[in-house]
Amino acid sequence: MIPTIDEKIGIFVYSTKFSGCRGIIKKNIDDFIVKEILSNKIKYLLTNNDYGYSLYKLKKWNMDTIHALNHISKRYKIRLKAIGLKDARAITEQYVCTINKTKIKENIKEKHYNLNPVCLLSKPLTKKYMIGNRFKIKISNSNSKLAKFEEYDEILNFFGYQRFGSKRPITHLIGKAILQKKFMKAIKILLSSTSKYDTKQNIEIRKKLDDESNYIKYINKIPSKMDLEKIILREMILHKNPLRSLRSLPLFIRRFFIQSYQSFLFNKTLSMATKNNEVYKPLENDVCFDEEFKLCKFSSVSNNIRHKLAVPIIGFTYYKKTRFHQYINKILNDERISPKDFFINDMQESSNEGGFRHALINYDDDLYVNDNIIKFTLNRGCFATIVLREIIKPDDPIKSGF
C-alpha cells in the first residue's frame, strides 16, 4: 500500500520488492548524520590574498539551514550562502560561503551550530563543486529484514517529502497557483491549509486566517516559526495586493514554490513510466547523463553502460522529444498547465526553464548495513528519505520520522 502522503506528492510506486524493515528514523537527534562532500576541484579556487570569498564549515543540530544562516547574518553580520539545504532534526555538516569578498573570521560556537573557517576562495562556491552527501542513519525498532536491503541497487530518483513541506505538503500547490496567476489562492494555501500532523494551536490559527478580516487580529498571535506567513500578512494588511505580497517573500522561497511544483510533475512522470517499466535502461536516442553529468543521446553502438537515463523537468523550454512525453502530456492536460506557464510575466524572476534529472538514484558502492545502522553516499540532488522509504516501507512516513 502506498501511503496517502506519497500520493499527494506524486509518488504511487515503489522501486523494490523488498517488504520493508519498518521502524523509525530521527528518534534522537544523533540518529541522522549527514556530511556534505566537495569536489577536489575546489582547490583551483583557493587564493592566498587576505580578502576572498570566505568558505566555512557549518555544523548544526536542531536548526535548519535557513534559520542558521539568518541567525549568523543578524548576530555576526556575515552574509552566507549554502549550496544545499539541510533539515533541522539531524546533525549536519555543510559548506557555506560569503556572498561578498571578506576577511575570514574565527570559529563561532552557538547553542545549535558551530561555524568554522576553512579557506578563502577567488570565486563564490557553487553547486557544481558539491559531489553529494554521506549519510549515517539509525533505524529504531526495525526488524531483521534490514540487512537484506543490500541486494537492491536501483531506486527511483523521486523528490523527497521535504521538497513539499513534509508534515504540510503544500509548497507545490502554492507553485501551481502562482503559475495559474491565482495569487490570492496561493496566499490562502500558505496561510490556511492545515494538516493532521500540525499542532492544535497552529490548526486553529490557520482556520482563523482563512478569513481576511482576521489578518490584523492574528498577525501578532502566530508562532515565530511561521515567518513566511508573517511577511505575507504584513503586506496584505498594508496593501491588500496578493501579487505584491507574494513578491515580498525572499526570492529563493518564490523560486522554491515553482521548483516544488516541477518536482510534483516529475514524481508523477516517473511513477507513470515505472508502471510501464520504462525507466531502468536507456534506449536508442534517449536523453542521458554521461559520466561527467553532461547531457547526451544514448547510442547502442557505443554501448556505454555508464550513461544514465534522464527524465525531463518541465519548464518553459520543455523538450518534448523523449519517450516520456506521452505521460507528461497527459499530466499537463489533467493539471491544466502548459510549459509556457513556467515563464511568469508577473514574476519573471521566479520563472523556470526546466531541464533534466536522473531517473535513478546513483548511490556509490558504499552501502553498508550493520544491525540497525545504515550508511550510504548520494549524489547531489538525491534524497536520503527516498532511499529510506524503500528500506522501511512505512505505513505513515511522518509518524516514522520522515
Q: Are 114 and 59 in contact (CB under 8 A)?
A: yes
pTM of the model: 0.92
* Residue appearing with cell numbers 582547490: 43
How many Cα atoms within 13 Å fall on the side-chain side of residue 138?
Answer: 12
Look at strands 91-98 and 32-38 and give their pairing. Answer: parallel
Whole-angstrom Cα distance, residue 78 to residue 105? 9
Whole-angstrom Cα distance, residue 77 to residue 70? 10
248-292 confidence digits (pLDDT tens): 999 999 999 999 999 999 999 999 999 988 888 899 999 999 888
Q: How many CB atoms lie within 10 A of CB 114?
A: 15
> What pLDDT shows up at residue 367?
83
| Segment (H or E) for 111 | none
Whole-angstrom Cα distance, residue 41 to residue 127? 12
For every one of its 402 residues, what pLDDT tens digit does the chain have, with 9 covering 90 and above?
Answer: 899 999 999 999 999 888 889 999 999 999 999 999 999 999 999 999 989 999 999 999 999 998 999 999 999 999 999 998 898 899 999 999 999 999 999 999 999 999 999 999 999 999 999 999 999 999 999 887 787 776 666 899 999 999 999 999 999 999 999 999 999 999 999 999 999 998 999 999 999 999 999 999 999 999 888 999 999 999 999 999 999 999 999 999 999 999 999 999 999 999 999 998 888 889 999 999 988 889 999 988 876 778 999 999 999 999 999 999 999 999 999 999 999 999 999 999 999 999 999 999 976 667 888 889 999 999 888 999 999 999 999 999 999 999
Closest residue by Cα to residue 260 from 386, 171, 178: 171
> What pLDDT shows up at residue 152?
65
Whole-angstrom Cα distance, residue 332 to residue 354? 14
All cell numbers assigned to 345 = 510575466
> What pLDDT shows up at residue 195?
92
Q: Are 184 and 242 in contact (CB under 8 A)?
A: yes
Whole-angstrom Cα distance, residue 390 to residue 361? 12
All cell numbers assigned to 182 = 491565482
> What pLDDT shows up at residue 150?
65
DSSP, res 244: H
Name the residue type at position 27: K
Whole-angstrom Cα distance, residue 18 to residue 186? 39
Closest residue by Cα to residue 164 from 13, 63, 268, 240: 268
In sequence order, the 6+-apart residues with CB closer than 8 A to the CB of 249 are 228, 231, 232
- Residue 108, beta-bridge partner list: 115
C-alpha of 232 from chain center: 23
| Number of residues that make up the chain | 402
- Residue 36, beta-bridge partner list: 133
Whole-angstrom Cα distance, residue 120 to residue 107? 15
Q: Are 12 and 273 in contact (CB under 8 A)?
A: no
